Structure 1
Amino acid sequence: MSRLSYAVPAEQGFSLLELLLILSILAVLAGFSLVNAGEYRHRLQVDVAARRLQLGLERARLFALSQRQPCGLRVSAEVWQKPLVSELPACVSSRLSLQEPFAAVPLTWQSNLPQLMRFAANGLTLDGGTVVLGSLHSPYRRCLVISLPLGVSRVGRYDGDPLDPAIGLSSSRCLPDEAL
């Protein structure tokens, strides 16, 4: 008579200790991703604001060129707006916000631009300066430089502290960024 040996089925699944170890590793990895996601969000807000600032500038130039008349815009930390004085017509009718409506953290803003940016009938920018945008929760800074006499603008990465009284805002600290 032959004996058939019956194999005992192996246990399926993980033990409680193995499951707890896997969950703790996943929790640590999730924590790392949340820290990086916050930094990424702040950087993205600053990038978007710099692009919107440049977009408002280009829209104003194109408006002055298309209407063949000088115009002006008032710039602040939040938005491009119509000029307060009526001696110069507004370049665009709508307000262009620099920040998304759902943005939770306000931007930091340092600028040596005049309050009223003027644009000639041929589309040239009559005023220039430097704007540095940043976030309260990140050391990341973007800058926009408007150079005269042609009003050429460029966006870059600001190297240094824009609040340093010894240096102040300097267009030479607005370095080109390969990411742009």
Structure 2
Amino acid sequence: MHFFAVHKQGMTLIEILIVLTVAVILALAITPSFLYWLETQRVNQALDSLEGALREAQREAMRRNQTCRVAINTGVNPIIAGQPPQCLPNGPRQLQHVTLRRNDGTASVQFGFQGRTSSTGTIVIAATNHPTLQRCLVVSLGLGIMRTGNYVETDTTGTTADNCRERN
């Protein structure tokens, strides 16, 4: 008597449920890390955009031999605009998914025709969903030299230049 082996194709319901359970557990383990990484990228991109706008205005002030001001709104999803608009040839920028705060009452940074600034300031950018994830930009008095870094203070309202530490 000859017996033919029966070949099963596909997976059983139990095998499918086991695979789905493992996939859900892995997704739940990875999601928080991925979301934090995404927030970090958003904050870094906003900081790069802010620094780029300030450097662009500084270059335009020297190139045009005129004063250029960059208006920087504080709060959630701030807008950065040039005054006059020609100071930012690439146009105004809106920083998405971040909150911006400054250490002084002035809402702008002004560059003279030599690229110098008459004020100093610290700007802190924080993730909207993770307020302790903070980056900072410090504009120095006089030459208008800028530096960026991690804002290390756990207080989500502070803007002290000493707490702006170099990024690794």
Query: Under a length normalisation based on structure 1, what TM-score does the superposition of the two structures give?
Result: 0.76
**How far, CA to CA, are the matches of 1:43 and 1:23 in structure 2?**
30
- Cα deviation, 1:50-80, whole Å, max 9, x if unaligned, reads 1111011101110011012222222113122
**Other-structure match for 2:102:** 111
Q: Work out whether 1:126 is the aligned partner of 2:122.
A: no
1:155 lines up with 2:151 in the alignment: no
> Relative to 1, partners in 2 of residues 1:134 and 1:25: Cα closer, same or farther, differing over 3 Å?
same
Residues 70 and 89 of structure 1 are in contact (CA less than 8 Å); yes or no, is this contact kept in structure 2? no
The corresponding residue for 2:92 is 96
Structure showing greater radius of gyration is 1
Moved more, 28-37 or 169-178: 28-37
Contact 2:138 2:146 in 1 (8 A): yes
State the shift of 1:7 in Å.
5.5
Corresponding residue SS for 2:33: helix
The equivalent position to 1:174 in structure 2, one of 149, 164, 167, is 164
By how many angstroms is 1:47 displaced? 1.1
Determine if contact 2:68/2:82 at 8 Å carries over to the other structure.
no
Task: Give the match's secondary structure for 2:59.
Answer: helix
Change (3 A) 1:61 1:123: same
Shift of 1:117: 1.6
Match of 1:40 in 2: 37
CA distance in 1, matches of 2:155, 2:87: 29
Q: Deviations over 1:124-175 (max 9, x none)?
A: 22222111111231131111111122211111111013445xxx42111111
* Structure 1, 59-68 or 71-80: larger mean CA deviation: 71-80
Q: How does 1:2-81 map to 2 (within 5 A)?
A: 6=3, 8-9=5-6, 11-77=8-74, 78-81=78-81
- The share of aligned pairs that are identical, in percent, is 24
Q: Is the CA contact 2:81–2:91 (under 8 Å) kept in the aligned structure 1?
A: yes
1: CA distance, partners of 2:16 / 2:70: 61
In structure 2, the CA distance between the partners of 1:115 and 1:12, relative to structure 1 (3 Å rule), is closer
Where do 5+ consecutive residues of structure 2 fail to align?
none
Question: Residues of 2 paired with 1:94 and 1:16: CA distance?
Answer: 57
Q: How many residues align?
A: 163
Partner AA of 1:110 in structure 2: R
